Homo-oligomer: A and B are copies of this chain.
Amino acid sequence: MKPILALNAFDMKAAAAGGVLEERLRERASVFGSASVLFYERPLEFVRSAGCWLYDAQGVAYLDAYNNVPSVGHCHPRVVAAISRQLAEINVHTRYLHPHIIEFARELLATVPERLSNVTFTCTGSEANDLALRQAAHFTGGDGIIVTQAAYHGNTARVSEVSPSSFTDWAPPPHVRVVAAPDVRLTSTAGLASSFASQVSEAIADLERHGHRFAALLIDSIFSSDGVFADPPGFLRDTVDAVHRAGGLFIADEVQPGFARTGSAFWGFQRHGVEPDIITMGKPMGNGFPIAAVVTRPEILDALCAKVGYFNTFAGSAVAAAAGRAVLQVIAEEGLMENARSVGDHLKRGLKELAARHPEIAAVRGAGLYLGVELIQPASGAPAPERASAIINALRSRQVLIGAAGRFGSVLKIRPPLCFSVAHADQLIGSLDEVLGEAQ
């Protein structure tokens, strides 16, 4: 398995970029060292952005079909204004009272199942998943965690243990089990629900057999890094039932599918008609301002707090609240969930039409504006990661930005800002059609 950070990554050793770019790469390597990760064979430098567009120093516009953090659009004026206004007024931690953070918490909790009535703010999705794992451990008394084969849940020490896709060479720690992504190509559509549930049940049994009490199933409800698996809606129900029967918790990592992206529901888990015990969220929550959160039932939070305090200095400030509230308002007032659904459907149809003409497309998957296009070598059916990389770089040359995902890096990952239009979708489809038609 290729580490997720190596997907569509620039190879510093291959650098012969020339001119300003080469100088910038050298400068960057000297300060960031081996932790410097850049996209593309020929990295991009952007200096301005708006809506679904990123601009380089020469003013060339790139269509953004990749970035899900600036989810309501790059530099959305209402979000920028809300943050800027609050920054000038007050910005301190939550150990003093402030009305806005309570209002933000209420607005956020209104989007989730009623029993999940407590929110803890953090700054990043990694911090949110780290805290969720601690809550699950304290509540269940267990440490056994189940994740998918190519999962990525964040970058802290504890969360890295359950993020196979971060490593160059990963063996699961003793308390972790992995299950294959819910791919209908490995089973039938009708059989997917029971087959995924069986895998999870077997993993639970194996954990218990090895002395690790089962604590939680942690999954991204659209299985982003596994390669985007969204359908059929509802297939997670049997699995969540199995988790609960075993006394474990279901943690829905909504960092990727949350905040209206799937088009049909505000949260990814809602498409499946299941209720998580813990929900984690992040990326699009502040449209780029670093905010994230864990939402759970009071008794689960209580189990942690009885033993250890949790306080996060920057999280839940009045500025974080201003950013988060502005994002919720823009999603509602600009109808971005409906837009994600309608433009997502249009885009998916267009991609499926490409699949009918280009045999190297094995599957078009996803929901709303989170889509995956799986590439294979037509002759053998084998995954085609090099081809995925070539396509991503060819699209970059046509000023269209997408990414890669999946266990083999062979899935094109398409998740634009939610203000993506039909015209943007058509540009992406047209460019991809050209690239797919080129001689390999």
Contact = CB atoms under 8 A, between A and B. Distances in A.
B102 A31 contact: yes
Contact of A288 (B34, B46, B80, B314): B314
Contact of A43 (B35, B89, B97): B97
Contact of A6 (B98, B301, B309): B309
Interface in A290-327: 290, 298, 301-302, 304-315, 317, 319
Given A75-B90, A75-B91, A90-B46, A99 B157 contact: no
Contact of A31 (B119, B167, B308): B119
B298 A34 contact: yes
Given A31-B106, A83-B84, A97-B24, A155 B288 contact: no
Interface string A87-102: 1111111111111001
Given A75-B91, A157-B157, A313-B125, A118 B32 contact: yes
Contacts of A33: 117-118, 298, 301-302, 305
A349 interface: no
Contact of A102 (B4, B24, B102): B24
Interface string A46-63: 111100001000000000
A77 B69 CA distance: 27
A54 to B, nearest CB: 7
Kindly report how many copies of this chain are found in the complex they form together: 2
B308 A117 contact: no
A208 interface: no
A399 B131 CA distance: 35
Nearest to A77: B88
Contacts of A124: 123-124, 127, 312-314
Contacts of A288: 87, 91-92, 314, 317, 319
A35 B310 contact: yes
A156 B130 contact: yes
A242 interface: no
A226 B384 CA distance: 56
Interface in A1-42: 3-6, 21, 24-25, 27-28, 30-39
Contacts of A25: 97
Interface size class of A (residues with CB under 8 A): 35 or more
Contacts of A74: 90-92
B301 A35 contact: yes
A105 interface: yes
A100 B163 CA distance: 31
A12 to B, nearest CB: 12
Given A123-B290, A156-B158, A93 B117 contact: no
A38 B316 CA distance: 13
Contact of A84 (B87, B160, B168, B313): B87
**Central interface residue in A43, A91, A117, A125, by most chain B CB within 10 Å:** A91
A69 B4 CA distance: 34
Contacts of A32: 94, 105, 118-120
A97 B311 contact: no
B301 A98 contact: no
21 contacts: A32-B94, A33-B118, A33-B305, A34-B298, A34-B305, A35-B304, A43-B96, A44-B96, A46-B90, A46-B98, A47-B90, A47-B99, A83-B83, A123-B124, A126-B127, A126-B312, A155-B310, A167-B307, A169-B307, A288-B317, A289-B314
